[in-house]
Amino acid sequence: MTSQISLPVPVTAHPTGPLTGSITVPGDKSISHRALIFGGLATGTTVISGLLEGEDVLRTAAALRQLGAQVVKNSVGDWHVTGNGIGALREPEEVLDMGNSGTAARLLMGLVAGSPFTTMFRGDASLHKRPMGRVARPLEEMGALITSRSGGRFPLAVTGRTLMPIDYELPVASAQVKSAILLAALDTPGLTRVTEPKPTRDHTENMLRHFGAEVTVTDLDTGGRVIEYQGQQELTAADIVVPGDPSSAAFIAVAAAIQPGSDVTITNVGLNPLRDGLFITLQEMGANIEIMNPREQGGEKVGDIRIKGGSLQGIEVPPERAPTMIDEFPVLFVAASFATGTTVMRGLHELRVKESDRIAAMAAGLKACGVSFEELEDGLIIEGSGRAPKGGGHIETHLDHRIAMSFLVMGLAAQEPVTVDDGRVMETSFPGFVDLLTSLGGNMTRGTAA
């Protein structure tokens, strides 16, 4: 895994021509985490097809084995998970190492909060900087005991206890915090209620229904939602086909959209309406994007996306859209760099506490590539000339996969090559990213530019 390799592996993206072809991106990371977790809690064996085998998801699989579930890989993307039912987790003999995965860390904290033992968590240097207090606070209100470093940071220990249901209003929209509370509520008697100020990705709610549980979701006049779950429902094994990750598809979509003459189709992409903000925004910027063959698969909307390259126009992105595309803003910053005019992106405070401070990291990289912009506390304002940026930057990724992939996308269409300091980090969410873009006609090499 990345943390066991001592030397960075730089990757350089070279200016290339149009991208063409049809590809499938790896499975959805959010759904893959949850498929493993719910399969490990259900009674019976769940067959998962299309599981993302990136490092983040493999951390979840390893943790579930330590917690007593049978998690077996049969072939690439094909996994069988056998659980022992709600309330039957086993005390792990080793510390759970979450690597770089904030999703695994926060969801599993909720998972073990009601189990009568102590679970130790750790991660890599990047994860140790990320805030966990937003998850710890509601879990402690439910009755769990959580001991951590200052600021609620990793490493930490969760001592599970008999929990009480909670009526909790999220201070900020966060699918991970919501999901941690719902996972803690699974074996909690009574009704747990979570109110979110804005709708966030609802994969946990969809997954609960898929495994036979009842969950109630009510839309509020204020634009938020209330999610209610009655604890101690049984979950029954249910096979899952994981769609392609829209967050991964975003990088391919932007790479095609900024390169005139490109014509790329991405098949079997998850199109959950709480995850499709990037594609809507690109269309508003003038991108030629067509959704084909829409369908439903395992409770999730799925479709094929065709992108033709052309010119983009700067726009003001509605701040309220941020929760539907928060992970895609780094590559949207790249798209805005190629657009004509001003692109305003605000309401992105959450980017400051991701795998890196993504606003600061992207700003530094954009500056190195000759892009004009203004950095805000909650976003960026990018001034595009309608021409390809100069490029030529050597980018510090800060161990952040989305920073790495965003600047490699830029390098394919910039005037000069762009190099990222370490391509290994892309394995956390998008194994084979370099090879896939190369198959479409991109030119990327491991090592620095000549």
Q: What is the largest CA-CA distance in the chain?
A: 64
Rounded Cα gap, residues 193 and 270, in angstroms: 27
User: What is the DSSP code (8-state) at residue 415?
Assistant: S
Three-class secondary structure of residue 281 per DSSP: helix
Residue 72 has a CB neighbour count (10 Å cut-off) of 12
Q: Which two tokens stand for residue 326?
A: 């928060």
Which residues are identified as catalytic? 327
Rounded Cα gap, residues 435 and 422, in angstroms: 16
Asked whether 187 and 114 are in contact (CB, 8 A), the reply is: yes
Residues 6 or more apart from 49 whose CB is under 8 A from it? 77, 78, 239, 240, 241, 242
Q: Order of strands across the sheet with 225-230? A: 167-169, 191-196, 225-230, 215-219
Residue 219 has a CB neighbour count (10 Å cut-off) of 10
Rounded Cα gap, residues 188 and 184, in angstroms: 7
Rounded Cα gap, residues 72 and 345, in angstroms: 43
Question: Strands 96-97 and 70-75, how do they pair?
Answer: unpaired
Report the b/e string of 307-334 with b at 16+ CB within 10 A.
Answer: bbbeebebbebeeebbbbbbbbbbbbbb
Q: Order of strands across the sheet with 263-270? A: 20-24, 263-270, 300-308, 288-297
Rounded Cα gap, residues 107 and 135, in angstroms: 9
Asked whether 262 and 311 are in contact (CB, 8 A), the reply is: no
Show the beta-strand stretches assigned E in 104-214: 118-122, 145-149, 153-159, 167-169, 191-196
Asked whether 81 and 235 are in contact (CB, 8 A), the reply is: no
Nearest to 113 by CA among 166, 185, 176: 185
Asked whether 9 and 441 are in contact (CB, 8 A), the reply is: no
